[in-house]
Structure 1
Amino acid sequence: MNSIRWLMIVPFIGMLGGVPFVNQVTPYVFGMPLLLFWLVAWVIATSVIMAIVYRFDPAVKEDEQT
């Protein structure tokens, strides 16, 4: 397995592993409770991470050439 694909586990850890630490209502970020902001931020970060993996994965380049 290619090493760039290991980046795909980061959103999983961020969403599920970080929730117990940010499970609070009182601090608001952009008008959202901290937990909601945390999850929205990870959804956006997941899109960015998937784009990076797609861009640098050598298997994609091999498929494009055939």
Structure 2
Amino acid sequence: MQEILIYVIVACSSLFIMSYAVHMLVGGLVNTETESLVIELICVIGIIAMGYMARDVIRRRKGIK
């Protein structure tokens, strides 16, 4: 149970850092709507990647290859 809490905290902080990095990179260069769209896209990609990693951890613990 403690692992799940740690994974959730790390996932949330990772998404925050990814979105902040995009904000700092394109913040003043593009329109606000475009910036929000890019942040959402990066967050979705991050969520998919984290889901894949979580799936891999679960499969390894169950012994499925």
TM-score (norm 2): 0.51
Where do 1:1-66 residues align within 5 Å?
Answer: 8=7, 11-23=11-23, 24=26, 26=30, 33-57=37-61, 60-61=62-63
- Asked whether the equivalents of residues 22 and 35 of structure 1 are also in contact (C-alpha less than 8 Å), the reply is yes
Match of 1:64 in 2: none
Q: Work out whether residues 22 and 38 of structure 2, in 8 Å CA contact, stay in contact via their aligned partners in 1.
A: yes
Across the aligned residues of Structure 1 and Structure 2, the Cα RMSD in angstroms comes to 2.9
**Structure 1 Cα separation of the partners of residues 56 and 10 of structure 2:** 13
What TM-score, normalized by structure 1, do the two folds share? Answer: 0.50
Q: Figure out how many residues of one structure are paired with residues of the other and give that number.
A: 49
CA distance in 1, matches of 2:59, 2:13: 22
Higher helix share: 2
Instruction: Name structure 2 gaps, 5 residues minimum.
Output: 31-35
Highest relative contact order (Cα 8 Å, sep 6+), 1 or 2? 1
